[in-house]
Amino acid sequence: GVPEAFPVVSREAMLHANPEVIVDLINVGRLPAGGVEACHEAWREIKQLDAVANGRVYVITESYATVPGPRFILLVEHLARLLHPEVEWDEARH
């Protein structure tokens, strides 16, 4: 088969790791028929995961997340905002 551009993690490995947060980076052209909601629905099937139980599954489809380049900093900022919602981001720029 065709090699994956990103690592593929098995369900068993996810259950073992039990992450607090899941960030799913998906090229918009590879979204399933139901779009982002279908991605969230797939994650909800693994309700044993802390990230799922606590609503901390994020699906990012912006091209800066999956296409290497100088816009990578946009992904870093996006992740920071998701992972640290308690920060007043507009005030943090000063």
Nearest to 62 by CA among 85, 22, 29, 21: 29
pLDDT digits (tens, 9 = 90+) for 25-52: 988 888 888 999 999 999 999 999 999 9
Listed by start position, the domains of the chain span: 11-92
* Ordered per-residue pLDDT tens for the chain, 94 residues: 667 667 788 999 999 999 999 999 988 888 888 999 999 999 999 999 999 999 999 999 999 998 889 999 999 999 999 999 899 888 766 5
For the domain covering 11-92, report its CATH number.
3.40.50.1980
Residue 89 neighbours by CB under 8 Å, 6+ apart: 80, 81
Q: Please give the Cα distance from 66 to 61 (Å, whole number).
A: 8
